[in-house]
Amino acid sequence: MAEFSGHLSLCAAVRDHGRTVLASQSFRAPFHISKPYWDPDAHVLLIQVVNPTAGILAGDRLESEIRVEPAAALLVTTPSASRVFQMRGGNAESRQHFSVSSGGWLEVMPEPLVPHRGSRYHQRTIVDVEAGGTLFFVDQWVAGRIGHGEAWCWDRLRLDLTVRVGGELALRERLDQSGDELRALAELAGSGASACFANALLVTSDPAAPWRPALAALHRDGLWLGVSALRRGGWSIKLVAPDTIRLRQALREARRILTPHFPRLSCDPRKL
């Protein structure tokens, strides 16, 4: 079976006409990007990153680097879920680095990760945001292929996140769980076999959070949501939902609540 060593490198910058463009881009399979779309209302450049292969396989090594220059605004998303397939040996790894300059805006909101039976996946994410930069990053994952009876059947899922704001460490966290171990958290939340998770990160230089009560009020009707302040410069938002529909609704509501305070969230990730 073929193993991929793919890379994605994007740099967004503002040109004289005031629009954000891709000042540089480079990618290799299994990464591919769609034609960029400029949202004139939100003043955001929208990019979809596509995986033209079946999904993530044993031995795959994926590297991505996304940078936003001063005054530029970029939204990066995916058109469909990322599937991590069964592995008879070895594992798959992804390393991603997001950096935002002062005055820049970056939103990264891919569709959920779906770990299949017997899969082993390690994702390392490093976020660097300069003082005055803003970032909204949402990482989603589900219990597995529910329709195939594969809930909580993966071998190992490890998600490492390091966040630096203004050059100082603001957050370091790790999820390193087998399917059985994470099932216990879903049972604690009462979310059942089809539970879905999201880890959202909002980095902002504005210490005020008038949106927080409305966001916390989403914690109801089977949805668990918590908001915690970072050591500096932002907020960590955790969600546990009973299914993908409820998770999608919650994230849509969260973006709606945040949009008046961060207008570039008005750019629709599903626009393309």
Q: Are 83 and 52 in contact (CB under 8 A)?
A: no
Asked if the structure places residue 271 within a domain, the reply is no
Lowest mean pLDDT among 59-68, 145-154, 258-267: 145-154
Identify the CA nearest to 53 among candidates 35, 86, 31: 31
| For residues 241-265, average pLDDT | 95
Would you say residue 1 has pLDDT above 60?
no
Judge whether 175 lies within some domain: yes
Q: 96, 64 in Cβ contact below 8 A? A: yes
Task: Using DSSP bridges, classify how beta strands 61-68 and 5-14 pair: parallel, antiparallel or unpaired.
Answer: parallel
> Band of the pLDDT at 253, cuts 50, 70, 90?
very high
Residue with tokens 């599903």: 270
Q: Which residues contact 169 (CB under 8 A, 6 or more apart)?
A: 162, 163, 231
The single residue listed with the structure tokens 């950096």 is 99
Evaluate if residue 190 carries a pLDDT over 80.
no
Query: What b-and-e string marks burial along 84-96, b requiring 16 or more CB atoms within 10 Å of the CB?
Result: bbbbeeebbbbbb
Q: Which two tokens stand for residue 206?
A: 């504005």
Q: How many CB atoms lie within 10 A of CB 173?
A: 12
Give the domain extent around 236.
5-266
Q: Which tokens sit at 170?
A: 């603001």
For the chain, give me the number of helices (H) and strands (E)?
A: 3, 18
- Alpha-carbon torsion (111, 203, 188, 191), positive or negative: negative
Residue type, 10: L
Report the alpha-carbon distance of residue 94 to residue 113 in Å, rounded.
Answer: 12
CA distance 217 to 260: 17
Nearest-angstrom CA–CA distance, 141 and 162? 18
The yes-or-no verdict on residue 181 having pLDDT over 80 is yes
CB 127 within 8 Å of CB 98 = yes
Cα–Cα dist 241/251, whole Å: 10
Residue 271 has pLDDT above 80, yes or no: no
Question: Is the model's pLDDT at 87 over the cut of 70?
Answer: yes
pLDDT in tens, 21-76: 999 999 988 889 989 999 999 999 999 998 767 789 899 999 999 999 999 999 99
Of 28, 139, 125, nearest to 78 by C-alpha is 139
One-letter amino acid of 199: N
β-strand 105-109 against 134-142: which pairing, if any?
Answer: parallel
What separation, in Å, do the N-terminal and C-terminal C-alpha atoms of the chain show? 32
pLDDT at res. 23 = 97
CA atoms of 237 and 227, how far apart (whole Å)? 5
| pLDDT tens digits, one per residue of 92-106 | 999 999 999 999 999
Query: Is residue 71 a part of any domain in this protein?
Result: yes
225 with 191: CB under 8 angstroms?
no
Number of domains in the chain: 1
272, part of any domain: no
Instruction: Report the predicted TM-score, pTM, of the whole model to 2 decimal places.
Output: 0.94
